[in-house]
């Protein structure tokens, strides 16, 4: 149950922060800064975890609205974990959650210009198998794996985002990779 942990710690942090004073998220400038720093990562986190069908951009908006409404109670240092926890919980609470569909987009691929029909065929089959394998990963495995392999996020960063240990991140990535190798198999 690693997801429960950040929620508990967040709650405790909120309790502490009630009495603290200092920089205030309610200030437009700081809030804007926090948005610049966190919105993109939060968006990718939600996208890789739940897929584009579940409106990650809107969930980012909701999370920041929640942060704004609680701006007096969250200190800036805890804003990032607040945002990720809120966004993740929103998704969990959303009963109408759609099946995660992560799709590849060949426009992003580089380097292949003129290919033989057979090669293109093989390529397409490979991509389809890879896509299915990624979709069949658990949410936790997928978000960890893609943040690392596609976005190039470091283990430490991912651990902070998810509120888990670096060891757990490493383990998830390895498990995800094993599953993909097993399903997509040899070339």
Partner 1 sequence: MEKEDYLKKWLQGSLNEEEKSVFQRTDDYRFLEKMSDSLMSFKAPEYNVEAEYERLSARRSVKGKVITMNWFSPLLKVAAVLMLMAGSYFFFLYDAPTVVETLAKEKAELVLPDSSFVALNALSRLSFHDKNWKKERLVELEGEGFFKVAKGSKFDVVTSSGKVSVLGTAFNVSNRKDYFEVICYEGSVEVQSANEIVRLLPKEIFRTISGVASKEITATDDAPGWRAGQSSFQSIPFRYVIQEFERQYDVSVTARNVDTNQLFTGSFPHSDLSLGLKSIALPLNLTYQIFEDKKIILTGDIQ
Stretch that binds partner 1, among 2-10, 16-24, 74-82, 123-131 (CB under 8 A): 123-131
Among 10, 44, 158, 162, binds partner 1 (CB under 8 A): 44
Is residue 70 part of the contact set for partner 1 (CB under 8 A)? no
68-85: burial string, b at 16+ Cβ within 10 Å, e else: eebbebbbbebbbbbbbb
Instruction: Closer to partner 1 by CB, 7 or 171: give it.
Output: 171
Instruction: Closer to partner 1 by CB, 9 or 53: give it.
Output: 53
Among 3, 14, 43, 80, binds partner 1 (CB under 8 A): 43
User: Residue 49: CA atoms inside 13 Å, Cβ hemisphere, count?
Assistant: 23
Instruction: Closer to partner 1 by CB, 7 or 157: give it.
Output: 157
Q: In the chain, what is the straight-line distance between the N-terminal and C-terminal CA atoms, in Å? A: 36
Cα gap 12→58, rounded to integer Å: 27
Instruction: Closer to partner 1 by CB, 19 or 110: give it.
Output: 110
Taking CB under 8 A as the criterion, which residues in 131-150 touch partner 1?
Answer: 131, 134, 146, 148-150
Taking CB under 8 A as the criterion, which residues in 9-38 touch partner 1?
Answer: 32, 35-36
Cα gap 51→108, rounded to integer Å: 18
Is residue 108 part of the contact set for partner 1 (CB under 8 A)? yes
Instruction: Closer to partner 1 by CB, 5 or 103: give it.
Output: 103
Torsion of CA 17, 11, 90, 175, to 10 degrees: 120
Three-state secondary structure readout of 66-116: HHHHCCCCCCHHHHHHHHHHHHHHHHHHCCCCCCCCCCCCHHHCCCCCCCC
Among 13, 14, 30, 39, binds partner 1 (CB under 8 A): 39
Cα gap 84→97, rounded to integer Å: 18
In the complex, which residues of this chain contact partner 1 (CB under 8 A)?
A: 32, 35-36, 39-40, 43-44, 47-48, 52, 57, 60-61, 64-65, 68-69, 102-106, 108-111, 126-127, 130-131, 134, 146, 148-151, 170, 173-174, 177-178, 180-181, 184, 186-187
């Amino acid at each position: 149950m690693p997801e429960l942990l950040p929620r508990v710690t967040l709650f405790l942090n909120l309790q502490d922060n009630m009495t603290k004073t200092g920089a205030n998220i309610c200030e437009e400038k700081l809030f804007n800064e926090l948005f610049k720093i966190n919105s993109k990562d939060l968006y990718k986190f939600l996208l890789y975890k739940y897929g584009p069908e579940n409106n990650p951009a809107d969930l980012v908006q909701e999370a920041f609205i929640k942060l704004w409404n609680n701006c007096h109670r969250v200190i800036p240092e805890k804003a990032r974990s607040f945002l990720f926890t809120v966004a993740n919980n929103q998704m969990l609470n959303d009963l109408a959650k759609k099946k995660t569909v992560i799709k590849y987009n060949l426009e992003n691929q580089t380097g292949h210009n003129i290919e033989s029909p057979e090669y293109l065929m093989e390529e397409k089959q490979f991509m389809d198998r890879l896509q299915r394998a990624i979709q069949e990963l658990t949410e936790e495995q997928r978000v960890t794996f893609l943040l690392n392999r596609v976005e190039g996020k470091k283990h430490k960063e991912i651990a902070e985002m998810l509120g888990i240990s670096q060891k757990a991140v490493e383990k998830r990535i390895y498990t995800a990779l094993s599953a993909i190798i097993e399903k997509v198999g040899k070339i």
